[in-house]
Amino acid sequence: MSRMTKAPQGKGHHSVFQSGELGMKWLGLEVLRLEAGESWQGQLKDEEAALVLLSGRCSVSVDGTRYDDIARSDIFTALGTTVYAPRRSKLEVQAEARLELAIAKAPCEVDLQPQRLNPDTVKVISAGMANWRRDVRLLVAPGSPVSSRLIVGETINPPGNWSGIPPHKHDTISDKENILEEFYLFKMKPADGYGVQVLNDDGKDNAFVIVNDDVAILQQGYHPTAAAPGVSVAYLWVLSGDDKAYNITTDPRFAWVAATEAVLKEMKN
């Protein structure tokens, strides 16, 4: 089932959930918060990882390969740098300024190469129209050879806007859809703002108020997101499954969206 949880607060290294926890099989999430001059070391098992800097400045080492001068003001105003770490890697993060970094993990059976993915490699898509327009950033895109299972991106909802419209799901194996677990890690601007996350389990829609550092664990059903007026909502999203293919099914209740977007685009032209 899909559910809400929260990233632990405070400095240091925090596990939000690991593969095998909260019903998740293909994903894990950790959050790292350091002050300038502090460092952290970690060791991957049979799992790959994407280290996404959310804010701050640092260097990241993967098995001795050091990536320097990784910096970002915040998720709202700047594109991010991602470091991909293969399975069984030894990791080290050294903070050059106060930082927050997300570590997304997935089980992995193959040996790939570590990579630094700079902001200029991020594909930014303006998705939707009207009050469901949002910016989608592809950090490790579907089909990317960088990772074995991980698909990584970010979405920025302008104030009052929705994302995930038309709502989609990826919880069934069919000729149109495959099973992918997913999580959203939320940030708000202003920090005390809020939004709404809709989760659909067993055909029933449930709405949850979301605030800074909330995490949506998405295993079943449709899952659109809304920002309150005056509040920008950003979220890091990561998917993983037995099959990396991004095949989804959209909610038939929102079949009108595609035609409406086509009409709105025609009117703008």
* Bridge partner list, 210: 195
Q: Give me the chain's average pLDDT, please.
A: 96
Range of the domain at 98: 6-268
Residues 17, 103: contact at Cβ < 8 Å? no
Whether residue 211 is contained in a domain is answered as yes
What's the confidence (pLDDT) of residue 269? Answer: 64
- Give the model's pLDDT for residue 203: 79
Confidence of residue 108 (pLDDT cuts 50, 70, 90): very high
Residues 6+ apart with CB under 8 A from 20: none
**pLDDT score recorded for residue 168:** 95
pLDDT value of residue 247: 94
Q: What is the pLDDT of residue 213?
A: 98
- Name the residue with tokens 């098992």: 45
Q: Give the mean model confidence (pLDDT) for residues 196-215.
A: 93
Tell me the per-residue pLDDT of 67-86, one tens digit each, with 9 for 90 and over.
999 999 999 999 999 999 99
Cα 248 from chain centroid (whole Å): 17
Share of residues in the chain with pLDDT > 90 (%): 92
Interval 186-198 mean pLDDT: 98
Residue 219 covered by a domain: yes
pTM (two decimals)? 0.96
* Arithmetic mean of pLDDT, 121-136: 97
- Quick check: is 118 in a domain? yes
Query: Which structure tokens are listed for 138?
Result: 């592809």
Q: Has residue 1 been placed in a domain?
A: no
Cα 178 to Cα 131: distance, rounded to the nearest angstrom: 29
User: Does 228 have pLDDT greater than 90?
Assistant: yes
pLDDT tens by residue, 8-34: 999 999 999 999 999 999 999 999 999
* Domains contained in the chain, number: 1
For the chain, what is the radius of gyration of the CA atoms?
18
CATH of the domain at 184: 2.60.120.10
Q: Position 78: which residue type? A: A
**Cβ density class 240-268: b for 16+ within 10 Å, e for less:** bbeebeebbbbbeebeebeeebeeeeeee
Residue 137 lies in a domain: yes
- For the record, the structure tokens of 196 come out as 């709404």
